[in-house]
Amino acid sequence: MHLRKDFLWGGAISANQVEGAWNSDDKGMSVADVAVFKPSIDVKDYKAHNTITSEMIADAKNDPETKWYPKRRGIDFYHRYQEDIQLFAEMGFKALRISIAWTRLFPTGEEEQANAAGIEFYRNVFEELKKNNIEPIVTLSHYEMPLALSEKYNGWVERKLVDLFVKYAEVCFKEFGSYVKYWLTFNEIDSVGRHPFITAGIVEDQCIDYSLEEAVYQALHHQYVAAALATKRCHEIIPGSQMGCMLTKLTTYPTTCKPEDVLLALESNLNNYAHADIQIFGKYPQLYEQQLRNKGIKIIKTAIDDQILEENTADYLAFSYYMSRTESADSNREQTAGNTIMGVKNPYLPSTEWGWQIDSVGLKISLLELQDRYNVPLIIVENGMGAKDECTSDGEIHDTYRIDYLRKHIKEMVEAVELGVDLFGYTSWAPIDSISVSTSQMSKRYGYIYVDQDDLGEGTLERVRKESFFWYKNVISSNGEVLE
């Protein structure tokens, strides 16, 4: 069994990490625009990078510059999308995953009418993709909700967000439905617990009548309901459309075969799955509900929420996979960082400079687990290696470490398909260097295309093809058969 002929090879980017133009054409501020770059903090300490207070937000709003707020400038995709899409086409991309910045359409999230300039920008992007025969896969919310909704409602804690999101989603379906078949609701919905502000606009010092933990579960519930209602409207407005849900696949192993370690790993995996369970099976898992009761958390639901979830499940499961992690009952074990999560260091795996443990077999394990559990079409919408790239004196970038990472992961992916996994695409993160979500660094690069810009925004923004560019082009043209 080979990959299907129409396999969606490509890459994934998000609006807030590439577009820049943070205040152009009436765009409103998003939560990403207040993410400050902190060079003095250990890059493995994701909590220190992602902690935010009301005071920090006020400071950010008073600072009109982009220097310390790299997501405001991105890589200027807003003005260079044609050139970038043509480079993706040169690699043979069949698909590009992008996100729509909610704040380009609704600057504060509460306007009556959508901003025409925002609609025009995305239409132009979709036209360019169409010209280049690249299928868009569009995420409605990728860590870039309106800042105004965070400030006014403490983000997704308030039910109001459901209506505002569905209204925004409906505009997207009506305006872009003729271009876009594949949609995704929330990027890595499970991450609300790991970074409540970035994913759900929750600021801890604004949790007045409730705890941060209660806020997280309530916000998650509102996002599940919003996702279900958006799925319903997507199907009604765009015949033949497919709406997916998305999980950060945090594959967790026990450190040893000691039953206590196995139990911790099991709990960790079940908690990760719960977010996809709710969106694919249409109801909260029994163990998850009991866990909430045991924690004393009572989610406020309307009388029809359960029915909404049950009747509007996702058509496919999209997931990101970068690393695996390990759990141990022994708290003295050495820890290492992962994708905004910590875990025990696995002696069998190498790590990136950011501490993320490189585990290509873990991708195969993840695919088999997800296929067996959900039995819906799967797509890998993020996978890749953040690394510091050096330009040689002749201006070339020989990113053999990235090729090695991707080659091993794609090999395991192809083997998983041979074992029966129903996989329809692979969009690696990110085909062009962009701003890191967790650390706001430019120097944490993932691309096949180098962008000349440093962490403080200095550089020409020139695009340069790396060695991996030519390698990935061959992978795509051979439909995953030529990996060397």
Q: Which residues are the active-site residues?
A: 382
Among 272, 320, 328, 383, binds ligand BG6 (CB under 6 A): 320
Q: How far is the CB of 420 from ligand BG6 (least distance, A)?
A: 27
Q: What are the DSSP E strand ranges found in 187-268? A: 242-248, 252-254
State which residue has the least CB distance to ligand BG6.
Answer: 438
214 vs 382, beta carbon nearer ligand BG6: 382
Nearer to ligand BG6, 39 or 420 (CB): 39
Whole-angstrom CA distances from 45 to 32, 49, 70, 186, 334 are 19, 7, 19, 25, 14
How far is it, in rounded angstroms, from Cα 167 to Cα 137?
20
Q: Residue 272 CB, nearest distance to ligand BG6 (Å)?
A: 13
* Residue 438 lies near ligand BG6 (rule: CB under 6 A): yes
Smallest distance from ligand BG6 to CB 160, Å: 25
Residues 386 to 415 in contact with ligand BG6, rule: CB under 6 A: 386
How many Cα atoms within 13 Å fall on the side-chain side of residue 314?
A: 31
* Cβ density class 179-215: b for 16+ within 10 Å, e for less: bbebbbbbbbbbbbbbbbbbbbbbbeebbeeeeeebb
188 binds ligand BG6 (CB under 6 A): yes
Residues in the chain: 484
User: Which amino acid is residue 294, in one-letter code?
Assistant: N
Specify whether the CB–CB gap between 321 and 363 falls below 8 A.
yes
Strand bridging mode 335-337 / 342-344: antiparallel
- Is residue 246 within 8 Å of 187, Cβ to Cβ? yes
Give me the long-range contacts of 346-351 (CB less than 8 A, separation at least 24).
Answer: 346/253, 346/255, 349/324
Choose one: 3-11, 125-133, 284-292, 436-444; the region binding ligand BG6 (CB under 6 A). Answer: 436-444
For position 14 contacting ligand BG6 by CB under 6 A, the verdict is yes
CB atoms within 10 A of CB 239: 8
**Rounded CA separation 370/363 (Å):** 10
The yes or no reply on residue 187 touching ligand BG6 (CB under 6 A) is: yes
Does residue number 428 form part of the binding site for ligand BG6 (CB under 6 A)? no
Tokens for 130, please give them: 């169409």
Letters for 238-267 (x = contact with ligand BG6 by CB under 6 A, - = none) are: ----------x-------------------
Nearer to ligand BG6, 8 or 238 (CB): 8
185 lies in the binding site for ligand BG6 (CB under 6 A): no
Total residues contacting ligand BG6 by CB under 6 A comes to 15
Taking the least distance from each CB to ligand BG6, the nearer of 279 and 328 is 279
State how far Cα 157 lies from the chain centre.
Answer: 21
Q: Which is nearer to ligand BG6, 115 or 324 (by Cβ)?
A: 324
Q: Which CB, 19 or 382, lies closer to ligand BG6? A: 382
Q: Does 190 bind ligand BG6 (CB under 6 A)?
A: no
Among 364, 444, 463, 466, binds ligand BG6 (CB under 6 A): 444
Stretch that binds ligand BG6, among 80-88, 127-135, 438-446, 463-471 (CB under 6 A): 438-446
Determine the Cα–Cα distance for residues 436 and 145; give it in Å rounded to an integer.
17
Write out the residues near ligand BG6 by the rule CB under 6 A: 14, 17, 187-188, 248, 320, 339, 382, 386, 429, 436-439, 444
